[in-house]
Structure 1
Amino acid sequence: MKNKLSDLNNHLFAQLERLGNETLKGEELAKEIDRSHAITSVAKEVISNARLVLDAQRQYDSGNMHKPHELLEVQKT
């Protein structure tokens, strides 16, 4: 897997550091704020998707799901 949730965490903290840059003013600050909104929007979707896969894995592992949909990539552990 190329991307991991830890990578997302690193991106979010990097963005937080950029927002904390007190030398950003005016248009540069506005651009960084817009970028933050875009990043957090995508991050919420990634987290939501990860939660869905985790819930499906739990259902499968508990025997409540007999044949998971292949899109969920759920495997017996």
Structure 2
Amino acid sequence: MTKTSLADLNNHLFAQLDRLTNQDLTPDETETEIKRAGAMTAIADRISSNADLSLKAAKLFADHGKAVLPHLPQIGGQIKEGDSQ
């Protein structure tokens, strides 16, 4: 399984933007890149949404400690006894 970061996602999106602005593409190649960009956007939106949810859960945990854990989906692993608050 490949580990890809949000920084990698950003790089991929900018690379796709570069491909879309390539004036040397044929109409068929342009259409292919448009479809690829649409797929990449859909995936990027999901990744961004998941990252935002994880950040919100981490903030709740940081602000309120272990008391909020029963109310949060387990995101990013289990909190072990002795961890911060």
Where do residues 1-77 of structure 1 align in structure 2 (5 Å cutoff)? 2-63=3-64, 66=67, 67=69, 68-70=72-74, 72-73=75-76
Tell me the CA shift for residue 25 of structure 1: 2.1
Gaps of 5+ in 2: none
Moved beyond 3 Å, runs of 4+ = 74-77
Gaps of 5+ in 1: none
Q: Are 1:59 and 1:65, in contact at CA under 8 Å, matched by a contact in 2?
A: no
Percent identity reads: 38
Larger Rg: 2
Q: Are 1:19 and 1:32, in contact at CA under 8 Å, matched by a contact in 2?
A: yes
How far apart, in 2, do the equivalents of 1:65 and 1:30 lie? 50
How high is the TM-score relative to the length of structure 1? 0.86
Amino acid in structure 2 at the alignment position of 1:53: S
Equivalent residue pairs, number:
76
Q: Alignment RMSD, CA only?
A: 2.0
How far apart, in 2, do the equivalents of 1:58 and 1:65 lie? 12
- SS of residue in 2 equivalent to 1:38: helix
How high is the TM-score relative to the length of structure 2? 0.79
